[in-house]
Amino acid sequence: MTDSKKQKEFEKLKKEKGEYLKGWQKERANFINYKKDEKERFKEIVRFSNERIIKSLIAVLDGFDLAIESFLKQKKDKKENEHYLKGIYLIKSQLEDI
């Protein structure tokens, strides 16, 4: 192989190497961007899920408040009421601690 052919082959291989490197760098950047996007999507899913849970808990707590209010309006044995109310308040406080 002559020096001229060797030089042409060298230049061809050098060009290919550059193209491969450029392609690899582009794909690496795409992958990094993909990972960032997925991380943001995951955060959004978690935020949305937390909102749904909180809204559900608020509805349950509102139900407890209504039950307590309704229960207090009833005229029953005071001693019996205390036991029921303690139980209701205990469950309500456990939900509030969540």
State the Cα–Cα distance between residues 67 and 85, nearest whole angstrom.
Answer: 10
Per-residue pLDDT tens digits for 12-33: 999 999 999 999 999 999 999 9
**Lookup: tokens for 8:** 């042409």
Q: ∠52-53-58 over CA atoms, to 5°?
A: 100
Residue boundaries of the structural domains of the chain? 3-97
**Contact call for residues 60 and 96 (beta carbons, < 8 A):** no
Please state the pTM of the whole predicted model: 0.55
The answer to whether residue 72 scores a pLDDT higher than 80 is no
State the Cα–Cα distance between residues 67 and 88, nearest whole angstrom.
Answer: 9
Secondary structure percentages of the chain, helix, strand, coil, to 5 = 95, 0, 5
